[in-house]
Amino acid sequence: MPHNELLQNLLTVFFAVFGSLLGSFCNVVILRMASGTSVIFPPSSCPKCTHQLHAGDLIPVFSWLLLRGKCRYCQAPISWQYPVVEASIAAILALSFLKTGLNLSFIAMASKAVIWYVATVIFIRREVLEPGPYILPTMIFILFNFPINGCPFLSLPVKAAPLIAFMIGTIATFKQKYEIFPAWAGLSFLTIFALAPRMGFYSAIIILVPAVLSIFKPDAAEKIFAAMQMAAILAMLTVV
C-alpha cells in the first residue's frame, strides 16, 4: 500500500474516532439545551437513577451496544439517540476529510455539517422552541462557507435564500405555533445555501413540499423535512 494511501486511511480512522467523541459531546449539548442546564457541569449521569456515569459507560457507540441499550445501574432504557448521533458525527468528520483533505476547508466543511446535523436533531426532538439553535448555526454556516466556496452571495439562488426560507417557514407554521418558525426557516436556509451551487432553485422546491404538507399533516411533514435535512447533509459531504 502506498505511503500516502496508508496515511489517508489512518487519518480517516482518527477523525472517525474523534468524531464519535465529538458526537458524545453533541448529545450532551442537545439534551441539556432542552433542560436549560450547563453543558459542562454536572458530570453525565443516568437521567432515571441520576447515578454518575464513569468512563466505561461513556465510550461512544460501544458502551450502548455492550450495555444493550440499558443503564448499568438501574437497567432503565438508554435512548437510541446516543449511538446514532455519535456514529453520525463520526461519519461526518471522516467524510469531510475524504472530500477535502487535511486543510482549512476540512475544518469548515466538518463544522458546517456538524452544526447542521445538531440543529436537525434539536428540531426532531421538538424540545427547544428558542430561535438560538437555528439563528446561530445560520451565521456560522455562512462564515465557514468562505474557505470552501468563497463569497456565497454571488449566485441568484443563494441571494434569494433568506426570502425563500422565510416563505417556507411561514407556510410550514401557517396553522401551528409561531415558535417553530425559526426551526423551519433556519433549516430551510441551510439546505438552500448548501445545495444551491449544484441544485440551484431545485433545493428550495424540494423542501417546499413538506412545508405545504405541514398545513394538513404537521407530524408527517416534520419527519419528512428532517429526513430531507439528513439527506442534504450527506449530499453536501459526498456530491455538492
Domain ranges of the chain: 1-102, 128-240
The pLDDT assigned to 85 comes to: 96
**Cα dihedral 65/39/226/152 (nearest 10):** -130
Backbone angles phi, psi at 77, to 5 degrees: -60, 140
Average pLDDT over every residue of 65-90: 91
User: Cβ contacts of residue 81 below 8 Å, gap of 6+?
Assistant: 27, 30, 121
- pLDDT tens readout for residues 143-161: 887 656 666 666 777 778 8
Query: Is residue 56 a contact partner of residue 71, using CB atoms and an 8 Å limit?
Result: no
Q: Which amino acid is at 168?
A: I
What pLDDT, on the 0 to 100 scale, is given for residue 12?
95
Contact 182, 169 (CB under 8 A): yes
Between these two residues, 40 and 139, which has the higher pLDDT value?
A: 139
Task: Select from 50, 9, 11, 43 the least CA-distant residue to 24.
Answer: 43
Residue 3 has pLDDT above 80, yes or no: no
Q: Give the pLDDT score at 32.
A: 83
Asked whether the beta carbons of 158 and 193 are under 8 A apart, the reply is yes
User: Can you tell me the mean pLDDT for 182-210?
Assistant: 88
Q: What's the confidence (pLDDT) of residue 57? A: 82
Enter the DSSP assignment of 78. Answer: P
Q: Does the pLDDT value for residue 221 go beyond 90?
A: yes
Of the pLDDT bands very low, low, confident and very high (cuts 50, 70, 90), residue 129 is confident
Q: What does the pLDDT read at residue 115? A: 92
Q: How confident is the model at residue 131 (pLDDT cuts 50, 70, 90)?
A: confident
| 192's grid cell | 438552500
- Is the pLDDT score of 225 beyond 90? yes
Residue 217: count of CB within 10 angstroms of its CB: 12
Judge whether 171 and 212 are in contact, CB under 8 Å. Answer: yes
Contact 192, 165 (CB under 8 A): yes
